[in-house]
Amino acid sequence: MADASSDKVDAKLLEILVCPLTKSTLEYDAAAQELISRAAGLAFPIRDGIPRMRLEDARQLDEGPQRRAPR
């Protein structure tokens, strides 16, 4: 099991990351461990403290956490 420090994303990293699709700002959802792009309607997962910013890894916001965006 990962320790709590590995679940946190660096604040400076969050300041510079943008949605790879729309280039808009992202919201950090600490509880879900996701970065949310409202403009694209996507949520990008954070695994072991590392944001997974590939479109293939994102899920649609209107989907449950197990569903992923189409490739």
Structure confidence by residue, pLDDT tens digits, 3-61: 455 567 788 988 999 999 999 999 999 999 999 999 999 999 999 889 999 999 999 99
Q: List domains and CATH numbers for the chain.
A: 4-60 (2.20.25.10)
The reported pLDDT for the residue numbered 33 is 96
Buried b (16+ CB within 10 A) or exposed e, 9-27: beeeeeeebebeeeeeebe
The reported pLDDT for the residue numbered 7 is 63
The reported pLDDT for the residue numbered 36 is 98
The reported pLDDT for the residue numbered 1 is 40
Res. 68: pLDDT tops 60: no
Whole-model pTM: value is 0.76
